Structure 1
Amino acid sequence: MLGSRNVIDQCRAHGVGMLVHTSTASVVFRPGGLENADERHPYPCRHLAAYPHSKARAEALVLAGDGPDLATVALRPHIIWGPGDPHFAPALARSVRGGRLVIPGDGTNLVDTTHLRTAAHAHLLALDALQQGRPIGGRAYFITQDDPRPLRDITSHFLRAAGLRATWCTVPAPLARAAAATSERVLRLTGLARTHALSRFLVAELVHPHWFSIEAARRDLQF
């Protein structure tokens, strides 16, 4: 959040009149999931992890900073993938053991994703809209491929991109949530920080649907 505040301050100090902020659809994610959620969906009362919490605070700060001297807009891509992906495909590849992918849920939950070229294109469209004076300042927009698919299919595609095939092995969701809560307590007590550690947020995203409407982006950004 401090970094976002510094960016806003520096934009104003140097006469930069437009700011396109990269947020994430995870800022509104909650247990139980989201189906065809649009921008009217509020932030949850409590986020399940530091990542969506910090992104939500930064997004809110940027949107509140919209004004006559600085036009701001936030884009919310979801699960960005493509060439050079340093996150999702590598994380899945690390999880494969003996040709098996042990994972919570049955993989039928629908999930949205965003190719990196789609995300980049949306940022250029948002900048164009700001330059043209369209009334998008202070607003956030979901950005996806508009093609939600079962999580099991998505993971198979990612693994094939990494040159792997694996059998989906289901772990009961309650067991996974209990293990995640234990993992979080251990990390908190030891003061360790692990980017890809098991967490309640990760389990919730693996078990529940999360896909979004991009009608607002179509209408306002010509996305």
Structure 2
Amino acid sequence: MGGTGFIGRAVLGAMTRKEDGRNRASRLNVLSRRGPTGGACAGTRHVRGDLSDPRSLRGVCSGVDTVVHTASYVGRDPQQCHDVNHRGTVALLEEARRAGVRRFIYLSTASVYGEGPHRGPAEGEVEPVPASPASSSRLRAEWEVRAAGGTVLRPHLVYGEGDRWFVPAVSRLLRRVPAWPAGGASLSSVIEVGDLARVVAALVDGSGAPGEGGTYHVAHPRPLSMARLLAELGSVLRLPAPRRVSAADHRALVGQSLPGLTDHQYALLTKDHWYDTASIWRQTGIDPGPGFEARFARCSAWYREQSAHALGD
């Protein structure tokens, strides 16, 4: 479910690559509201369904062994958050139960923990305090998934080709307000979308899959310093080096220039939000990869192109 979005496309790509000379595409059903897109993987079977309309999900899990649920609504409409994230997940779980699905993997978010700061807690060491309708509804969806014996994955900030929020939000913020809070070298758990997709593919294959009903942080083991990200954006996107101002002055400036950026979103970019991710890498047995510098270099051309479009070049 959600195979046409930012993360869903990457997961689909990871799951359709040939392994041992076999292509898994013919064994995959892709559930989406719109049907195949230009980036669709050849050989996959596309099924129409809408999480906000449980009736449209009837029969979508027939013959399915594993459901990977990556779809979500991250806007601010509380009713739509409930309909898509919570009620929609319940409906999909019911279809999975009816069809005898063996494994259910739900991609949630570490944003369910709230504004922070969070400095290295493992799973279960921090009580979720969601600060938005989207996070609240996704937390409720998590409860349903775990109750049904499913697995919940909580990435924090995800970057790479297709990213429309994390790096673009920081870039937009720097263009509007070329400043940053003094001493604001916060640390964040991040993961490149391809590495996140590798984790999901490993769980689907059952290689080191975690026990039933588990919840796992998913990010590179080394948190990213925001100072490092700002320096990288200055180099790749030619953004100005931000001047240092007080935290209060910075929040006021951002509020004036980007009134749509909520306190919750602002906190995600300026406070420590990093988590212990050892469990998922140990369980799957896969290499987390080289980290931010190498992965960002791989997608920097894409970010430059998107930045040029955003500026109307």
Candidates 158, 161, 180, aligned match of 1:83: 161
- Please tell me the residue identity of whatever aligns with 2:229: I
Structure 1 residue runs of 4 or more that deviate by more than 6 Å after TM superposition: none
TM-score by length of 1: 0.76
Q: Give the Cα separation in 2 of the matches to 1:64 and 1:221.
A: 22
Return the offset for 1:159: 5.5
Relative distance call for 1:215 and 1:152 in structure 2 (3 A) is same
Aligned partner of 1:191 in structure 2 is none
SS state at 1:48 partner? coil
Checking the alignment, whether the CA contact within 8 Å between 1:111 and 1:209 is kept in structure 2 is yes
Relative distance call for 1:101 and 1:10 in structure 2 (3 A) is farther
Aligned partner of 1:38 in structure 2 is 122
- Alignment of 1:62 with 2:145, yes or no, is yes
| 1:154-205 deviations in Å (ceiling 9; x for gaps) | 23334645x232222345334566788x89xxxxxxxxxx9x9222212322
Aligned partner of 2:185 in structure 1 is 108
Q: Give the Cα separation in 2 of the matches to 1:6 and 1:17.
A: 16
What's the Cα RMSD here? Answer: 2.8
Which entry has the higher C-alpha Rg, 1 or 2?
2
| 1:64-110 deviations in Å (ceiling 9; x for gaps) | 111xxxxx111111211112212122223322337x53344543111
Candidates 171, 186, 195, aligned match of 1:93: 171
- Please tell me the residue identity of whatever aligns with 1:48: A
| 1:14-40 deviations in Å (ceiling 9; x for gaps) | 222211110112222443x11111112
Q: Give the Cα separation in 2 of the matches to 1:127 and 1:83.
A: 23
**Residues matched between the structures, number:** 200
Relative distance call for 1:173 and 1:22 in structure 2 (3 A) is same
Q: Which range moved further: 47-56 or 143-152?
A: 47-56
Checking the alignment, whether the CA contact within 8 Å between 1:104 and 1:206 is kept in structure 2 is no
Relative distance call for 1:175 and 1:48 in structure 2 (3 A) is farther
- Alignment of 1:13 with 2:98, yes or no, is yes
SS state at 1:125 partner? helix
SS state at 2:120 partner? strand
Percent sequence identity is: 24
Instruction: Judging by fraction of residues, say which structure has more strand.
Output: 1
Aligned partner of 2:231 in structure 1 is 156
Aligned partner of 1:52 in structure 2 is 135
Candidates 233, 252, 271, aligned match of 1:208: 271
